[in-house]
Structure 1
Amino acid sequence: MNSIDSNQEGKHKQNYVGADAVEKIRELIDKSGSCFFVTSTTLNNSHKSRPMSVQKTDETGNIWFLSAKDSMKNMEIKVDTDVTLYFQGSSYSDFLELNGHAVITDDKAKIEELWDPTVKAWFTEGKDDPRISVIQFIPDSGYYWDNKHGNTVAGIKVLISAISGKTMDDSIEGTLKV
């Protein structure tokens, strides 16, 4: 169930709930593939952000990562499971913020499922590296910003707006509730 409403500035708002939210999340993550993974921790009373590659986004909207058991990120998650993810698919669209919590496991079957040969750069012993852990991010809510007509049209509208001094907003944004 989603809703659409427009405001007077020409921007369009479209909110997604449930399965529709999961579909939008998967669509936007597929365009990016990586994110900034932000932990909030009481260890040093701050937020820490680091780039992470998404290994998988499943049909329920959970996002899966491989991480080192001894990483600061894993230590922070053990203290505070709240996590925020930020994605950017392109210069003009596919921006996504997700809020949720993370669960750390060392499930060997999940490691096998998520394994990609490029990950060996961090886990030199391969799939059996004793340092590998799995992070499951479970989203609760989020917000996205996109454009309605694709990057080419959005880029042209930005250029025309810069030259003419008139706003030609092509954005669409809204909340996501999983």
Structure 2
Amino acid sequence: MDSINRNQPEDNRQDLAATAATARIRDMSKDAGACFFCTTPLPDSDTGGTRPMSIEQADDDGVLWFLSAADSHKNAEIQADPNVRLYLQASKHSGFLVLDGQATVSRDRDRIEALWSPIMKTWFTEGKDDPRITVIRVQPRAGYYWDNKHGDFVAATKMALGAAIGKTLDDSIEGHVAP
């Protein structure tokens, strides 16, 4: 990632730590609603280790919560290697976040109850008491984000104006995320 930032103006960089980092993670997960959830594939697997997952919750500590089937490839891959990577995108032109974290799988009934929504019955046909339901908790360790400074409207206006006058009016901002 350093090579990407080598020519980045200093005013376009803002690393986030602690409270600011967890706020960014929470906001991005709400806006995105889903992510690409990447695990290390098992040696005999042809899954590729990447799949879309709905983010059920991002708590005040920036921890991300998911519901998953106990017999899924992802759960088996997490058991073998708990290191995961998540890719989030909030909108078409802004709000990108990649997170590296540690995943754990549990059958915490209280957490399942808190995360449950009726649409989940699509995957868990016996409802919130389906014995296949597990909870995946991802504790982010580090990440990187790309966004715009002033919101989509200002960024789009600057892009259109820059294209019309032939000048770069960059409204981007990026930096490391360290919860």
Do Structure 1 and Structure 2 share a fold, with TM-score over 0.5?
yes
Q: Distance in 2 between matches of 1:129 and 1:93?
A: 38
TM-score by length of 1: 0.89
Equivalent in the alignment of 2:141: 140
Equivalent in the alignment of 1:18: 18
Alignment-mate amino acid for residue 149 of structure 1: H
Say which SS state the counterpart of residue 168 (structure 1) adopts: coil
Q: Distance in 2 between matches of 1:126 and 1:8?
A: 49
**TM-fit CA distance, 1:149:** 1.4
Equivalent in the alignment of 1:162: 163
Say which SS state the counterpart of residue 120 (structure 1) adopts: helix
1:100-157 CA distance string (max 9 Å, x none) = 1100001111111110111111101000111110000010001111101111221222
Identity rate of aligned residues, in percent? Answer: 48
Equivalent in the alignment of 2:58: 57
Asked if structure 2 preserves the Cα contact closer than 8 Å seen for 1:13 and 1:172, the reply is yes
Q: Distance in 1 between matches of 2:116 and 2:91?
A: 26
1:27-78 CA distance string (max 9 Å, x none) = 1211111111011234258952111111111111110000001111111111
Q: Distance in 2 between matches of 1:44 and 1:161?
A: 51
Cα RMSD for the two superposed structures: 1.9
Segments of 5+ residues of structure 2 without an aligned counterpart are 1-6
Asked if structure 2 preserves the Cα contact closer than 8 Å seen for 1:41 and 1:79, the reply is no
Q: Distance in 1 between matches of 2:11 and 2:39?
A: 31
Equivalent in the alignment of 1:177: 178
Q: Distance in 1 between matches of 2:8 and 2:50?
A: 35
Alignment-mate amino acid for residue 140 of structure 1: R
Alignment-mate amino acid for residue 12 of structure 2: H
Equivalent in the alignment of 2:32: 32
Q: Distance in 2 between matches of 1:11 and 1:120?
A: 47
State yes or no: 1:123 paired with 2:131.
no
Asked if structure 2 preserves the Cα contact closer than 8 Å seen for 1:149 and 1:170, the reply is yes
Greater than 6 Å deviation, 4+ residue runs: none
**TM-fit CA distance, 1:165:** 3.2
Instruction: Please list, as runs of the form range in 1=range in 2, the aligned pairs for 1:75-154 lying within 5 A after superposition.
Output: 75-154=76-155
Alignment-mate amino acid for residue 13 of structure 2: K
**TM-fit CA distance, 1:160:** 3.1
Equivalent in the alignment of 1:72: 73
TM-score by length of 2: 0.89
Say which SS state the counterpart of residue 142 (structure 1) adopts: strand
Q: Distance in 2 between matches of 1:166 and 1:94?
A: 23
Q: Distance in 2 between matches of 1:44 and 1:157?
A: 49
Select the structure that is richer in helix: 2
